Amino acid sequence: MDRRDRLIARVREGFRHAYGAEPTDFFAAPGRVNLIGEHVDYNDGFVLPCAIDRETIVALGPPGDAACFEAVALDMGEADARDSFDPAAPITLGASDWQNHVRGVVGALARHGHRVEPARIAIAGDVPIGAGLSSSAAFGVAVALAMSEHSGLGLDAATLARVAQIAENDFVGCACGIMDQMASAASVEGHALLLDCRSLETVPVPIHPGLEVTVIDTGIRRSLTESAFNQRRAECEAVAAHFGVRALRDLDPAAFAEGESDLDPVLRARARHVLGELRRVEPVAAALAGGDTAALAALLHEAHVSLSQDFDVSLPAIDRLAASVRAALGQRGGVRLTGAGFGGCLVAVARCEARGAIEAGIACYNETAAIPASAETFAPVAGAARIAAS
């Protein structure tokens, strides 16, 4: 049995156990790792994530007698692992984040003028939670797709992503951008996804066959992410307002250079990261497709330093791990912090033969680390879809 089959068996069993009935349909949405363009999605910039073969699966079946919407989450502990509400009534908040992801999708669909039909769902996944690999987006997009298909809405990938983002922004309370949901909804197998976060236009970027994407889990789980994340976003918006532009994407670097001395030093550093990161996205996309590992080494290092020093979302242990892997890799690839930060994962894009070097860099770090790091290489997969389950 492969990874997905095991997950399907678990979610099917969870459905049977919760409702005493068989599910009729299955939907899946992947997590993602971001290769470049960090903390630029909510500044309307370009990003380059890649969907990974870890996912959330939703099993769906007809409603019970009460004709309400019922959900059971198999990974969320016992206490409030079930929820039930009337999808036609105004949506109120649930008792926990996962419930608000589900309710939020119904609420967001209602705002788009769509009605969700009653159903029963069970949800399970294997995207690690709190690791910076977008378990929340996978969850939201899988639920949105299941509701869209079940209710005959046939929504496209960008609408599913928007709906899942609205659920997270307005019902869960995280001011996240659109990158994770778009990566989960719209990715193309074997490719990274170059995404314009303003227009939502996407261009699949092939990954050179000599390269592979490795996720290095620091083992450090994020804490206080929501408040720190929302604060970073507010700081970026304050700089945009200061310069009178819609978003930092529209801030001309020359105008920034001229006016930056009027800014508070923290705001100046945040904007410096965003403007620098915006310039790195296209060259990284080109290096990824062309297999230029020396360019990847330089650009990903610059990005890491900028996230650590100017955006202040790294930790000393993460900087040590990145330095150790970077030293071991040399010019064979690049490595940097990925995702929101404050813990989570590094991403390495390197020659396939350099896997041993990445392991050596991690082993060296682990000799003195409080929490050991570990690496896994992922295949870039396609975005959310209905899946067959025999």
Residues assigned a catalytic role:
180
For the chain, what is the radius of gyration of the CA atoms?
Answer: 21
In the complex with ligand GLA, which residue's Cβ is closer, 134 or 293?
134
User: Could you tell me the smallest distance in angstroms from the CB atom of residue 222 to ligand GLA?
Assistant: 10
In the complex with ligand GLA, which residue's Cβ is closer, 138 or 348?
138
Which of 220, 225, 226, 223 minimizes the C-alpha distance to 345? 220
User: What 8-state DSSP symbol labels residue 366?
Assistant: H
Note whether 183 binds ligand GLA by CB under 6 A. Answer: no
Task: Please give the residues from 331 up to 390 whose contact with ligand GLA meets the rule CB under 6 A.
Answer: 339-340
Task: Please give the residues from 22 up to 61 whose contact with ligand GLA meets the rule CB under 6 A.
Answer: 34, 38-39, 41-42
Using CA atoms, how far apart are residues 319 and 299, in angstroms rounded to an integer? 16
Judged by CB under 6 A, how many residues of this single chain contact ligand GLA?
12
In the complex with ligand GLA, which residue's Cβ is closer, 23 or 30?
30
For strand 46-61 and strand 211-217, is the pairing parallel, antiparallel, or unpaired? unpaired
Which of 118, 114, 116, 167 minimizes the C-alpha distance to 138? 167
Outline where DSSP puts E strands in 164-303: 191-196, 202-206, 211-217
* 3-class SS string, 211-239: EEEEEEECCCCCCCHHHHHHHHHHHHHHH
User: Could you tell me the smallest distance in angstroms from the CB atom of residue 88 to ligand GLA?
Assistant: 30
Q: Which residues lie across from 350 on neighbouring strands?
A: 212, 333
In the complex with ligand GLA, which residue's Cβ is closer, 18 or 340?
340
Burial 21-44 (b: 16+ CB within 10 A, else e): eebebbbbbbbbbbbbbbbbbbbb
User: Could you tell me the smallest distance in angstroms from the CB atom of residue 177 to ligand GLA?
Assistant: 3
In the complex with ligand GLA, which residue's Cβ is closer, 134 or 148?
134
In the complex with ligand GLA, which residue's Cβ is closer, 14 or 132?
132
Which of 81, 101, 80 minimizes the C-alpha distance to 91? 101
Region binding ligand GLA by CB under 6 A among candidate stretches 171-179, 253-261, 302-310, 367-375: 171-179
User: Could you tell me the smallest distance in angstroms from the CB atom of residue 378 to ligand GLA?
Assistant: 16
User: What 8-state DSSP symbol labels residue 140?
Assistant: H
Among 180, 260, 292, 310, binds ligand GLA (CB under 6 A): 180
Q: Is the dihedral of CA 340, 344, 350, 351 positive or negative?
A: negative
User: Could you tell me the smallest distance in angstroms from the CB atom of residue 225 to ligand GLA?
Assistant: 8
Task: Please give the residues from 90 up to 149 whose contact with ligand GLA meets the rule CB under 6 A.
Answer: 134
User: Could you tell me the smallest distance in angstroms from the CB atom of residue 43 to ligand GLA?
Assistant: 9
Among 177, 219, 333, 361, binds ligand GLA (CB under 6 A): 177
Which of 36, 49, 50, 33 minimizes the C-alpha distance to 276? 36
Q: Taking CB under 6 A as the rule, which mask of x and - marks residues 65-94 in contact with ligand GLA?
A: ------------------------------
What are the residues binding ligand GLA (CB under 6 A)? 34, 38-39, 41-42, 134, 176-177, 179-180, 339-340
